[in-house]
């Protein structure tokens, strides 16, 4: 139980911190993109986890490139539009700003120390898995059939499998209810790993992710059941 000193001195500081953050993010911001994109989805799930409201403006780059260009000259998603009209681009930069906004007590990537390295490295591997799965998906999705280069697809798929195998090894050592980077609560390593696993399973079903990586898949299913994830479902029927 907290003692009188804690109540008098610590709690008011925490309350002031929370109120200050509320002033920074007073109402829902707009998230441009769609939940098929692992980059958009990891931003959305992260916003849910730290309790920052947002409204999704669903856009697909290939369906509405000119509209996306109005928000980001690179014609890429996600874009996070803040209350004052500021546009943030690239998921890693957006997530960094989210962590800065909520502060060290709620951020999903630790600010300092060895644990930060663990979270950052695991997140990097998971994000690369999602990227390579996306490249393999796009090769057969956007190119004419006669120009599809199968060796390139296979190369990317092997990279995906290598990354997921590494994450499977980590997941196999995680006790029930614990987190991948051994953080006290869910971190960006968990968020991005789960989203990469789900995305790969969605766009590259032939890789049989659930059968190859049972511990990682079980961890992903546990997280996907959490409200922060389930509120941002991957669209069905994309293939």
pLDDT one-digit tens code per residue, 164-184: 999 999 999 999 999 999 999
pTM, rounded to two decimals: 0.88
Q: Taking the domain 26-102, which CATH number applies?
A: 3.40.30.10
138 has a pLDDT exceeding 80: yes
Neighbours of 58 (CB within 10 A): 15
Residues of the chain with CATH 3.40.30.10: 26-102
pLDDT in tens, 175-221: 999 999 999 999 999 999 999 999 999 999 999 999 999 999 999 99
154 neighbors 86 (Cβ within 8 angstroms): no
Phi, then psi, of 213 in degrees rounded to 5? -130, 70
pLDDT in tens, 5-61: 444 444 444 444 444 444 455 668 999 999 999 999 999 999 999 999 999 999 999
User: Closest Cα to residue 138, out of 60, 232, 234, 217?
Assistant: 60
Q: Average pLDDT, whole number, for the chain?
A: 91
CATH level 3 topology of 113-230: Glutathione S-transferase Yfyf (Class Pi); Chain A, domain 2 (1.20.1050)
How many Cα atoms within 13 Å fall on the side-chain side of residue 40? Answer: 25
pLDDT value of residue 236: 81
Residues of the chain with CATH 1.20.1050.10: 113-230
Radius of gyration of the chain (CA): 19
End-to-end CA distance of the chain: 54
């Amino acid at each position: 139980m907290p003692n009188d000193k804690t109540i008098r001195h610590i709690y008011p500081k925490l309350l002031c911190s929370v109120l200050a953050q509320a002033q920074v993010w007073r109402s829902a911001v707009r998230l441009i993109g769609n939940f098929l994109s692992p980059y958009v989805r990891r931003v959305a799930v992260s916003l849910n986890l730290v309790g920052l409201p947002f409204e999704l403006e669903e856009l697909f780059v290939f369906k509405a490139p000119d509209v996306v260009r109005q928000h980001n000259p690179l014609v890429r998603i996600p874009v996070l539009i803040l209350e004052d009209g500021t546009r943030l681009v690239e998921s890693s930069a957006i997530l960094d700003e989210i962590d800065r906004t909520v502060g060290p007590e709620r951020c999903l990537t630790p600010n300092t120390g060895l644990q930060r390295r663990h979270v950052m490295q695991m997140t990097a591997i998971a994000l690369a898995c999602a990227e390579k799965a996306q490249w393999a998906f796009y090769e057969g999705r956007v190119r004419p059939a006669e120009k599809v280069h199968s060796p390139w697809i296979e190369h990317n798929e092997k990279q995906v499998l290598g990354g997921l195998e590494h994450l499977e090894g980590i997941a196999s050592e995680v006790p029930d209810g614990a987190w991948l980077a051994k953080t006290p609560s869910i971190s960006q390593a968990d968020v991005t790993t789960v989203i990469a696993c789900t995305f790969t399973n969605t766009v590259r079903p032939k890789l049989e992710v659930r059968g190859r990586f049972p511990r990682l898949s079980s961890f992903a299913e546990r997280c996907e059941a959490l409200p922060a994830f389930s509120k941002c479902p991957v669209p069905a029927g994309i293939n």
